[in-house]
Amino acid sequence: MDLKRCYLASLLIVLLSFFTPLSVSAEFECESKVSYSWEYTPPAMPQPQKPGKNSDAVIKVKKEKFTVPYVTRRLRSATAEEGKQKFRAVLDRDIEEAMSECRETHENLSGCVSAKFLSMGNVMRQLGFQARKELETSISRDCSMMTGRCLEATASEVTCVEVIQPMEEKKSEGEEEAAKDKKPKKK
């Protein structure tokens, strides 16, 4: 009877060793999102003239604000504090790049129009006068709908989450040599 208990106990220990990692590694994965906001202001439209009124009056138009996601950054570090410190330098650069992207996209009407004309050059040469005129009008309208004023670029608060992963067991010297022998040799 004692031999049977001893056998079951050793079997239980062996099974537990297979299902329980011997050591674990804890890391932190930190994340932050950078975005920029811009304001679309439609072009002022002249108000129809009425006799006796100021002819320079314009219709006031509603300004719309848009927020555009720019990039989501993730990195791993040993501690949450270390991750947040690493992020500071990266996020400052990302915020500058986001503002630059915003200015290039939304404050550069002539750049938008010229880029679209350049990409449509082959098509425009094949179109007739009326179709080309409609395409030019469409390009101008599309670009004016994307033109406005950049307001700011911001980064969300850095959030860090602990990630626990089992560490790989160190291979014995014999296993390492066997693994090296399996690799194909370069000629």
Convert the pLDDT of each residue in 147-175 to its tens digit: 899 999 999 998 888 887 655 544 444 45
Single pTM value for the model: 0.61
CA angle 36, 68, 142 (to 5 degrees): 115
Q: What's the CA gap between 143 and 110, in Å, rounded?
A: 9
Token pair for residue 161?
A: 């989450």
* Predicted confidence (pLDDT) per residue in 59-80, tens digit: 556 778 999 999 999 988 888 8
pLDDT at 42: 75
